Chain A
Amino acid sequence: MSAAPLESLRVIVDQVIPAGEPWLGTVRQGQTLRIVDLEGNQAVDTLFYNAHDTEERYSAVDTIRAQGNIYLTSGSSLRSNLNASLLTITEDTCGRHDTLGGACSAESNTVRYAIDKRHMHSCRDNFLLALARQTQGLTKRDLPSNINFFMNVPVSSDGALHFADGISAPGRYVQMRADMDVLVLISNCPQLNNPCNAYNPTPIQVLVWAAG
């Protein structure tokens, strides 16, 4: 593994994603991706695909099983549906990220909150819009369970699942090294009905550095 300090490497992407917007980008093998929670407690719904064969993509259950733990942090290998490592988390100043909670959608909002919440903007709408703009043939069929960076979904030993207040804070970030060329699909979550964004969705920053 390269030990070259990031500051010495070329910055390829440095972009702020406003609250409630999608982003689709590419990170090449060996490059470093950092997602910064600029204002704190902002859920970042994220999926990864093998850039050369998008039928291979992030799999929450393969990731959980491979590491024997339900939370993501430094050292977590983000596994594909073929159980290969897409990326590895190398640095994490937040401490814990969720991969059980999935993405919000218009339809799940009707179930979780009220039928009249259907119109509210959601992560799946973001994902679908980003997919509608690309030309690689990705569709709704390519939206498996995702990662929620900076989101806190603790599970207790009796098997109860909670959506708890965030443990992130302004400026905290998670950083990962790509183990293969990957497409990155992000929805900067617009959810207003639960504490995943502290009821106030805010911008995030995405940075990509060249391989060391």
Chain B
Amino acid sequence: MNIRPAPLPPQPLLWDETLAPGAHWSGVLRRGTSLRLTALEAGANLAAMLYNYESLLERYNMADTLKAQHVAFLTAGCVCYSDMGRVLCSITADSCGWHDTVCGLSDAEMVSARYGSTRFQEQRNDYYKNGRDSMLNELGKYGLGKRDLIANINFFSRVAVDDGGDLEFDRSHCQAQDYVDLRFEMHTLLVLSTCQHPLDPDTSYRPRPARLSAWVSGPAPHRDPCRERCGENARGFRNTEMMFLA
């Protein structure tokens, strides 16, 4: 296995934390904070949903993100748009080149059909987790629920689309130590799950761990590859910065 050492994010870190295989997590990332997501093993998937922490009705919008930037996947230079024409976060670095945002989450039925049924009663904390229940678990802590199950991002997963629109999961995409850096442009509630991608053809339950490392980066500077990627992003940053003028 090819293990590439990731360059360290700028020191000092505000905090860092390891997410266990199958874990779910949520937290608030303030404007001007950056977060590195690191895949600790090959084949990791990190499902993510993002909400404006000051107004949870404003949330990541897959469609607006894709059509503003004319892409069907995310990588460095892209930003993640909310439904209000504003930037939740910028993707400032990315070692693997493609993150899925069109395939959604696994669910309990899918996981038990593929890998078998488990219960806490027997397996304790090794019982099989699934993406949707993991997200609902975290969303409930903020008064959110099924209505707030937005189209998510699947960091570290690549699903190729052929000319007929058929999907194919790329099993060799994510290597150990692959990373992606998110720079938060507004106060953001980030919800994560390390469950496997719903199209991962692996016949065994094998979620992988991930690492979170946060530091103070400041928001997007005046000259910035994400801001300058296209006219759309320049206007998206303008809309975002209107919230933080005073």
Contacts and interface: CB of A to CB of B under 8 A. Distances in A.
B104 A100 contact: no
Nearest to A144: B150
A94 to B, nearest CB: 14
A62 interface: yes
Given A59-B149, A64-B103, A112-B232, A70 B67 contact: no
Contacts, number: 139
Given A141-B57, A142-B147, A108 B166 contact: no
Contacts of B71: 159-161
Contacts of A111: 64, 68, 81, 85, 232, 235-236, 239
B149 A159 contact: no
A89 interface: no
Interface in B59-82: 61-64, 66-68, 70-73, 81
A82 interface: yes
Interface in B103-141: 103-105, 107, 109-110
A150 interface: no
Contacts of A60: 62-63, 102, 151
A81 B107 CA distance: 10
Interface string B38-69: 00000000000000000001000111101110
Contacts of A157: 160-163
A65 B149 contact: no
Contact of B64 (A102, A115, A140): A102
B167 A107 contact: no
A101 interface: yes
Interface string A63-98: 011001111000000000111000000000000100
B62 A102 contact: yes
Contacts of A103: 63
B83 interface: yes
Contacts of B12: none
B68 A112 contact: yes
A104 B73 CA distance: 20
Interface in A150-169: 153, 155-157, 159-163
B152 interface: yes
A65 B236 contact: no
B103 A61 contact: yes
Contacts of B160: 157
Contact of B199 (A57, A65, A141, A145): A65
Contacts of B72: 70, 100, 155, 159-161
B145 interface: yes
A105 interface: yes
A61 B63 contact: no
B238 interface: yes
Contacts of A59: 104, 149, 151
Contacts of B241: none
B167 A64 contact: yes
B147 A61 contact: no
A110 interface: yes
B195 to A, nearest CB: 14
A95 B76 CA distance: 34
Contacts of A144: 149-151
B98 interface: yes
Given A69-B165, A108-B64, A111-B68, 4 more contacts: A100-B102, A157-B161, A159-B161, A161-B72
25 contacts: A57-B147, A60-B63, A61-B104, A61-B105, A61-B152, A68-B167, A71-B165, A81-B146, A81-B149, A100-B62, A100-B66, A101-B63, A101-B66, A108-B83, A108-B85, A111-B81, A112-B232, A124-B83, A141-B147, A145-B63, A145-B150, A157-B160, A157-B161, A161-B67, A162-B70
List the 9 shortest-distance A-B pairs measured between CB atoms, nearest first: A102-B63, A61-B104, A107-B85, A71-B165, A55-B146, A155-B72, A159-B73, A70-B165, A69-B165
Interface of A: 55-57, 59-62, 64-65, 68-71, 81-83, 96, 100-103, 105, 107-112, 114-115, 124, 140-145, 153, 155-157, 159-163
